[in-house]
Amino acid sequence: MAERSRSPVGRPVTEARRRRSRNAAYRSAQARLTPYEGIARFVIRRRAELRFTQQQLAARMGTSHSAISRIESGQHRTSVATLERLALALDARFVVGFETGPVETPIRELVSL
């Protein structure tokens, strides 16, 4: 029988997730941070593709290693100016978008900056 995943405190991960998801404040914070987690995943993946360390990326952006670490944590809001510099440092294009219409079938308008 496969061993169940456990959190560092010994409870099964699924149990901990289920318990946290009942908390309204947790759900609110999770919803608020979801877009920043997406940015973090992209930055980590792209930095790995380019074989940059966080310090190398920071140097290309003219910022600190801790700023890159905060972005990659997915727990912090990132300004548009920082996202533009980040895109340039990662040899990527920064695209901004708007959605209208129903959530299930949104109409998206994107602009590359």
Q: How far apart, in whole angstroms, are the C-alpha atoms of residue 91 and residue 47?
A: 10
Residues of the chain above pLDDT 70, percent: 78
Residue 1 pLDDT: 46
**Both structure tokens of 95:** 């695209």
- Is the pLDDT at 6 greater than 60? The verdict is no
27 alpha-carbon distance from chain centroid: 17
Fold for domain 13-112? 434 Repressor (Amino-terminal Domain) (1.10.260)
- The verdict on pTM exceeding 0.85 is no
> Looking at residues 77-97, what average pLDDT do you find?
95
**Both structure tokens of 6:** 């456990």
